[in-house]
C-alpha cells in the first residue's frame, strides 16, 4: 500500500503511466482491426458478443501475463541461433502470428477481389461453428499482441501497478471503440480493403521483428495514418459527387 501511495506522489510515475497508456492504446489498434474484420464475417446477432468475448480475453491474457513477468522476461532469451541471429520464444511467437496475419489478410483480399469465389468463408464452416472458430482465431492473435504489449510495458516501467492500470485503460478503450470501428468498416467497403492492407503490413512487421529486423513503429503507424487520411478524403469526394448527382436529378 505504501509503495502505491509513493507512486501516486511521484510525477515520474504519472508520466510513465500516461506514456504507457498511449503506447498500449496504439498497440491495441492492430488487435482491434483484426477483431473488427473477423467479427463482421459473423451473423449480425453474434458480432457484438464475439467482440466483447475477444476483447475480454485480451484483457484476461494481458493481466495473466503481467502475473508472470519473470517468465515473460525469459521469453526474450535466445533458444537457438540461425544465420547469425539468436531466436527467442518471443521471436517465434511474433513470426507465427505475423504469418497467420499475412495468410488471413491475403485470403480475405482474394475473397474481396473475386467475390464469385466464396466457397470458403474467412472463419470457415457453417454458421453454428463460425462463432467458435472466430473466437479461436481472435484468441490466437490476442496471444501474439498480448506478448508484444506486455514486453513493451516491462521495458518501459518496472512498476507492476502502472502496467496493470495502463493495460486495463487500453483494453477499455478497445472495448468502447470496437463496435463503432466495426460498423464503420462494414458501411464503407473500401475501408475493408485498407484495413486488410494494414493487417498485411502489421503481419509483415511482426515477421521482420521476429527475424531480428527492427522496424520503427512510428514509421508503420505514420504510414497507416497517412493512408487513412487519403481514404477519408476519397470518401468525402465520393459523397460530394453523389450529392451533386442526386441534386441534379
pLDDT single digits (tens) 60-115: 888 887 777 667 666 777 888 877 778 888 788 888 888 888 887 887 777 767 65
C-alpha span between 78 and 30 (Å, rounded): 26
Please report whether residue 221 resides in a domain.
no
Cα–Cα distance measured from residue 96 to residue 117, given in angstroms and rounded to the nearest whole number: 27
Q: Which three cell numbers stand for residue 166?
A: 495502463
pLDDT value at position 167? 84
Q: Is residue 113 part of a domain?
A: yes
Distances (CA, A) of 75 to 87, 90, 162, 168: 10, 5, 21, 23
Residue 232 resides in a domain? no
**pLDDT tens string 177-208:** 888 888 887 777 777 777 778 778 878 888 88
For the chain, what percent of residues have pLDDT higher than 90?
0
**Domain contains 167:** yes
Query: Does residue 152 form part of some domain?
Result: yes
Pairwise CA distance, residues 9 & 23, whole Å: 22
Task: Confirm whether 224 is domain-assigned.
Answer: no
Please state the domain count of the chain: 1
The verdict on residue 36 lying in a domain is yes
> How many H helices and E strands in the chain?
9, 2
Calpha distance 199→38 (Å, rounded): 12
Domain that holds residue 108: 2-215
Instruction: For residue 235, tell me if it sits in a domain.
Output: no
The separation between CA 237 and the C-alpha centre of its own chain, rounded to angstroms, equals 29
Over residues 129-172, the pLDDT tens digits come to 478 888 888 888 888 777 777 777 766 666 777 778 888 888 88
Amino acid at each position: 500500500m505504501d509503495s502505491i501511495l509513493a507512486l501516486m506522489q511521484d510525477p515520474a510515475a504519472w508520466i510513465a503511466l500516461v506514456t504507457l497508456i498511449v503506447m498500449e492504446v496504439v498497440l491495441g489498434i492492430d488487435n482491434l482491426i483484426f477483431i473488427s474484420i473477423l467479427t463482421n464475417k459473423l451473423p449480425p446477432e453474434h458480432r457484438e458478443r464475439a467482440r466483447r468475448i475477444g476483447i475480454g480475453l485480451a484483457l484476461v491474457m494481458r493481466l495473466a501475463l503481467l502475473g508472470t513477468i519473470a517468465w515473460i522476461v525469459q521469453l526474450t532469451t535466445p533458444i537457438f541461433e540461425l544465420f547469425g541471429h539468436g531466436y527467442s520464444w518471443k521471436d517465434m511467437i511474433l513470426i507465427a502470428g505475423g504469418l497467420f496475419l499475412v495468410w488471413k489478410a491475403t485470403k480475405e483480399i482474394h475473397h474481396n477481389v473475386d467475390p464469385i469465389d466464396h466457397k470458403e468463408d474467412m472463419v470457415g464452416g457453417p454458421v453454428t461453428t463460425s462463432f467458435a472458430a472466430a473466437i479461436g482465431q481472435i484468441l490466437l492473435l490476442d496471444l501474439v499482441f498480448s506478448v508484444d504489449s506486455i514486453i513493451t510495458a516491462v521495458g518501459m516501467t518496472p512498476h507492476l501497478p502502472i502496467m496493470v492500470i495502463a493495460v486495463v485503460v487500453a483494453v477499455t478503450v478497445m472495448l468502447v471503440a470496437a463496435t463503432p470501428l466495426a460498423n464503420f468498416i462494414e458501411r464503407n467497403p473500401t475501408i475493408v480493403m485498407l484495413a486488410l492492407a494494414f493487417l498485411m503490413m502489421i503481419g509483415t512487421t511482426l515477421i521482420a521483428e521476429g527475424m531480428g529486423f527492427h522496424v520503427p513503429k512510428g514509421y508503420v503507424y505514420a504510414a497507416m495514418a497517412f493512408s487513412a487520411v487519403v481514404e477519408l478524403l476519397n470518401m468525402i469526394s465520393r459523397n460530394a459527387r453523389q450529392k451533386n448527382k442526386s441534386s441534379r436529378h
